[in-house]
Structures are given as structure tokens and as C-alpha cells.
Amino acid sequence: MKVGVLGATGMVGQRFIEILDKHPDFEICSLLASSKSAGKRYEDATTWYLENPMPEYVKDIVVSETDPNTVDSDVEIIFSSLPTEFAKVVEPKFGENFIVASNASAMRMIDDIPLVIPEVNPEFLDLVEIQQKNRGWDGFIVTNPNCSTIALTLTLKPIHDNYNINRVYVSTMQAVSGAGYNGVPSMAIVDNLIPFIDGEEEKMENETLHILGTIKDTRVKRADFNLSASCNRVAVLDGHTESVFIELDEDIDILDMKNTMSNFKSLPQELNLFSAPKNPIIISENENRPQPRMDRNAEGGMSVTVGRLRKDDICNKSFKYTLVGHNTIRGAAGASILNAELIVKKLL
Ligand SMILES: NC(=O)c1ccc[n+]([C@@H]2O[C@H](COP(=O)([O-])OP(=O)(O)OC[C@H]3O[C@@H](n4cnc5c(N)ncnc54)[C@H](OP(=O)(O)O)[C@@H]3O)[C@@H](O)[C@H]2O)c1
């Protein structure tokens, strides 16, 4: 299938290009960005920041204006990594005729737009039919959650399925790539930590409960436990780390919990989707892991590594762990691509 990428010159756009380069089913035909980049060869328009070199075939593609009319007519899927304000206006125009798999937060919490992690809530794709009916579109939009939410929610899913969660506290240590190429000035972050990421805590709290919810009468009914997030930016390039504290309504055996998490598999693994990791959650037994530099690339950056899983001494119903997930792969481009693979398998 031919695909296009919106925001192709940015941090997430580059990850799309890197991952799609090796994809057996999706072929990039159109690259779109702002008017600053439009009309230039991709190589000239882009400050490439990834360790792997820019794939040869994209270098000469001429970047287009972000307008559905500039996209090759045989393109079927559009991956979006646009800034949210712009995505809000532009993605619906693409949704009229294309399948849009978006990273942007603009449309995530709208009733008829599925917010999906394939291992967690694939059934939310049922909303696509309602969306097309409501809007009279031939295409549709499916979104993935923000980077820190995806990693957390993947680890909560098997716990939520097997136990009753009372409350979750999470404190994040998020990489600078999560803010985009021009996001955090080096003078602000080197030798430093910033204990605030605009809108991030609200996104984690709302999106996690939404994704772990159920569809009732064509609307999402949120999961009903309490979740409180505290988000920090740290001087790490890629890979978000999160300290998670969970209280259940029953006493738990930590070995059972370990098995529940490490045995977790879901629909993408059953369907053998190309980007699906064999193990969505990897449990590390090493006492000083996970670490972003060592663990962010687990299973091509698509697995979340959990370590330091232990009981919390303050209460026998509580336990805690640390996780690391790759923010621009599992938390962004890889998430949209896995969504698109699921869409192809389930809806086309
Ligand atoms: N980074 C992450 O870890 C992460 C994770 C999850 C979700 N996201 C979301 O993904 C989106 C992109 O993030 P990013 O980190 O890739 O940002 P970024 O590095 O700043 O890239 C932004 C991209 O959007 C393009 N763009 C900016 N303004 C535009 C406009 N008015 N019209 C058309 N194109 C425009 C830029 O093109 P030019 O180069 O031409 O300016 C560039 O390609 C955001 O919504 C972000 O919240 C990011």
C-alpha cells in the first residue's frame, strides 16, 4: 500500500521514514511538511537526527505542502506527526478520503475517533463505522496516545484485566526528543531537570483511563480507578522512564504479578502483525534496570521494559515498578504503524 507522511521532516516524521524503509507492506510515496520545507528535496529540507543514515530513496522526494490535493492519487494511508494546533484543522481534511493514523493529540478524545493501542483496546476500531456515518467520509482517522501514556498503559493492561486497581501514581522522566527537534533548548536541559511538561499530566491521566475503558452505546466509558501523574523532562535523548506505584483492592503475590505481566500477549501477537513485538512487556530481573540507554531499543523499540517490580512496604495491596519505553518508536511512529497494520487486517 502506498502511504504518505505529514510532518515528515520532524522527529517523529523521521522515525516514520526509518521504520517504513524496511516495511514489507507500506511504501512511502508522499512526504509533506510546512511551507518552509515544501518544494525542497527531502534531504535539503531535513536536519536528520537519527543514528541510521537517511534512506536513499527518500532523499530526492520533493516535500509537498500539507494539503490533501498534493498527495499522490494512489496513496491510501496517511501517517500524521503534525503539531497539534495544525493537526486539528488539517487532519479532518485528509480523513475525508484517506485512512489517517495520527500521533497528534488534537482528535484523541473526540467521541467518534478511536484512540487505540493494538494490544490494549483493538475493539475501539468499531468506532470507525460510526465516524464515517457521522461525518459522511470515505476515509477515517485513528489516533494513538501520547508517548508516556502508551508505555504506562501497556503495562497496566494485564494488571487491569486480572486484578482490581484502586489507584495508580506515576512519575515520569521523559526524554528531550519527546518535545520535538526545536522543543527544549540545550541551555535549559543540560545539567538539569525540568519538573513540568505542558499538558502532559492531563494527557496521561485522561488518555490512560479512556483506553482502558469500554465502549458503551457508541461512547467510551472510562476505567474507574484513580490515576495521578507527575511529569519531568530529563537530559536523555530517547526513551521515557516512569516510576509506577499501584494499589489494588487485594493482597498480591509479586511472583504472580511478574508472570501476569511477562506472559501478556494480545491480538497483534496473535495476528503476527509485522511491527508487533513478541513480548509487549519485558521483565528485567537486573536490580539497576531498566535504563533508557540500555533498554529503549528492546524488540526494535516496540517493547516496554519493566524492572524493580516489588511490593511496597507501606501496604500489602501495593506494589511498584520502573518502566522504560521508546518515545518516538513505541510512543509515536511505531504506534501509528502498528495501528495501520491492525486497520489493514481488521477493516479493509
Ligand atoms: N516526539 C515524540 O516523542 C512524540 C510522541 C508522541 C506524539 N508526538 C506528537 O507528534 C507530533 C510531531 O512531533 P515531533 O516531535 O515530530 O515535532 P517536530 O520535530 O517539531 O516536527 C514537526 C513537523 O511538523 C511540520 N510542521 C510544523 N508546522 C507545520 C505547519 N504549519 N504545516 C505543516 N507542517 C508543519 C514540521 O515541518 P517543517 O520542518 O517544514 O517545519 C515538521 O515536519 C506532535 O503533535 C507531537 O505532540 C510526538
Q: Does ligand 1 come within 6 angstroms of the Cβ of 8?
A: yes
Q: What confidence tens digit (pLDDT) does each residue in 9-41 have? A: 999 999 999 999 999 999 999 999 999 999 999
Strands (E), the chain: 2-6, 27-33, 64-65, 75-80, 99-102, 140-143, 165-174, 193-194, 214-216, 219-221, 226-234, 240-248, 281-283, 304-311, 318-325
Q: Does ligand 1 come within 6 angstroms of the Cβ of 13?
A: yes
Average pLDDT over the chain reads 97
Q: Does ligand 1 come within 6 angstroms of the Cβ of 17?
A: no
Identify the structural domains of the chain with CATH numbers, from first to last.
2-146+332-347 (3.40.50.720), 147-326 (3.30.360.10)
Quick one: pLDDT at residue 217? 86
Choice from 9, 12, 176 to test ligand 1 binding pocket (greatest atom count within 8 A of CB) = 12
Which SS3 state, helix, strand or coil, does residue 149 take?
helix
Instruction: Name the β-bridge partners of 313.
Output: none
- Mean pLDDT value across residues 207-228: 96
Q: Does ligand 1 come within 6 angstroms of the Cβ of 279?
A: no
Interval between CA 272 and ligand 1 midpoint (Å): 30
Q: What confidence tens digit (pLDDT) does each residue in 285-318 have? A: 999 999 999 999 999 999 999 999 999 988 889 9
The count of residues in the chain is: 348
Quick one: pLDDT at residue 285? 97
Q: Does ligand 1 come within 6 angstroms of the Cβ of 103?
A: yes
Q: Does ligand 1 come within 6 angstroms of the Cβ of 37?
A: yes
Taking the CA of residue 104 as reference, the ligand 1 atom at the shortest distance is 45
Taking the CA of residue 65 as reference, the ligand 1 atom at the shortest distance is 33
Quick one: pLDDT at residue 314? 87
Instruction: Name the β-bridge partners of 67.
Output: none
Separation CA 138–CA 228 (nearest Å): 39
How does strand 219-221 pair with strand 165-174?
unpaired
Given a contact cutoff of 8 angstroms between Cβ atoms, the answer to whether 164 and 314 are in contact is no
Taking the CA of residue 38 as reference, the ligand 1 atom at the shortest distance is 40
Quick one: pLDDT at residue 122? 98
Amino acid at position 30, single letter: S
pLDDT-above-70 percentage for the chain:
100
Query: Number of C-alpha atoms within 13 angstroms, CB side, residue 210?
Result: 24
Please say if the pLDDT value at position 195 is more than 90.
yes
Q: How far is CA 58 from the centre of its chain?
A: 24
Q: How far is CA 338 from CA 27, 34, 270, 312, 332, in A?
A: 15, 26, 13, 35, 10
Q: What confidence tens digit (pLDDT) does each residue in 36-54 have? A: 999 999 999 999 999 999 9
Quick one: pLDDT at residue 181? 87
Q: Does ligand 1 come within 6 angstroms of the Cβ of 10?
A: yes
Residues with catalytic roles:
147, 240
Choice from 5, 11, 62, 105 to test ligand 1 binding pocket (greatest atom count within 8 A of CB) = 11
Separation CA 330–CA 309 (nearest Å): 21
Given a contact cutoff of 8 angstroms between Cβ atoms, the answer to whether 37 and 13 are in contact is no
Quick one: pLDDT at residue 313? 86
Please say if the pLDDT value at position 120 is more than 90.
yes
Choice from 82, 107, 143, 327 to test ligand 1 binding pocket (greatest atom count within 8 A of CB) = 82
Interval between CA 188 and ligand 1 midpoint (Å): 20
pTM over 0.85, yes/no: yes
Residue owning the nearest CA to atom 44 of ligand 1: 83
